[in-house]
Chains A and B, each alone.
Chain A
Amino acid sequence: GNSVTQMEGPVTLSEEAFLTINCTYTATGYPSLFWYVQYPGEGLQLLLKATKADDKGSNKGFEATYRKETTSFHLEKGSVQVSDSAVYFCALRGGSQGNLIFGKGTKLSVKP
């Protein structure tokens, strides 16, 4: 069945450091891929998405490229801020039902 695997956290970085959070997936067909972010005490917010191979999603300085050959959708940001501290979830949507399948999440802490 479909599944998503994320790198385990927590990840602790200093402000302005480079961020990579790895995400790989298993799916039949051509799923859409998403990154959601969850700030403390809040629901999930869509960060970015990609719907087909080689698409690059980007938002707020974050980027991720849909790599079908490696079944990956790694999240990157060139210079993190303290305000980026949150839990990041990689997800896929495939099949006719439309429900999202999530990874376990990666907690990011950015220190000043």
Chain B
Amino acid sequence: DTGVSQNPRHKITKRGQNVTFRCDPISEHNRLYWYRQTLGQGPEFLTYFQNEAQLEKSRLLSDRFSAERPKGSFSTLEIQRTEQGDSAMYLCASSLNRGGQETQYFGPGTRLLVL
């Protein structure tokens, strides 16, 4: 069990550029979640997958945000046309959902700074 990994750990970009973050979950976990955390706040849910199916995406912050999990393993979160307000920590978590019970394990996060 190597834990949840995220890459890159830090990203600095200019306003208007596109960015993509990757999350590799714990290998046997069937669920993968994305959250955003801004300074001084708790994580805020964005979207999640069960295997390759994206089961909830209405909480994505705008249509500039999209996520994929093409083979039910790793996932990517893309932000198009970044804005300064997108600066935040983006967290990924994975879990093994069995009969509704699960515990989510978080990665170290990707810190995004939009200049």
Q: Point out residues on A near B: beta carbons under 8 Å.
A: 4, 32, 34, 36, 42-46, 49, 51, 89, 91, 93, 96-105
* Contact between chains at A98 and B109 (CB < 8 Å): no
Complex CA–CA separation, A102 to B97 (angstroms):
19
Known: A49-B103, A101-B45. A43 touches B31 (CB 8 A): no
**B16 contacts chain A at the CB level, 8 A cutoff:** no
Q: How many residues of B contact A (CB 8 A)?
A: 29
* Contact between chains at A105 and B55 (CB < 8 Å): no
* Contact between chains at A104 and B40 (CB < 8 Å): yes
* Contact between chains at A43 and B40 (CB < 8 Å): no
Complex CA–CA separation, A100 to B43 (angstroms):
9
Residues of A within 8 A of B97 (CB): 98
* Contact between chains at A105 and B41 (CB < 8 Å): yes
Complex CA–CA separation, A97 to B48 (angstroms):
8
**B28-39 vs A, Cβ < 8 Å mask (1 yes, 0 no):** 000101010000
Residues of B within 8 A of A32 (CB): 101
Contacts A36-B106, A102-B44 known; list 14 others, CB within 8 Å: A4-B42, A42-B108, A43-B4, A43-B91, A43-B106, A43-B109, A44-B43, A97-B55, A98-B97, A98-B100, A99-B33, A100-B35, A105-B40, A105-B42
A99 to B: closest C-beta gap in Å: 4
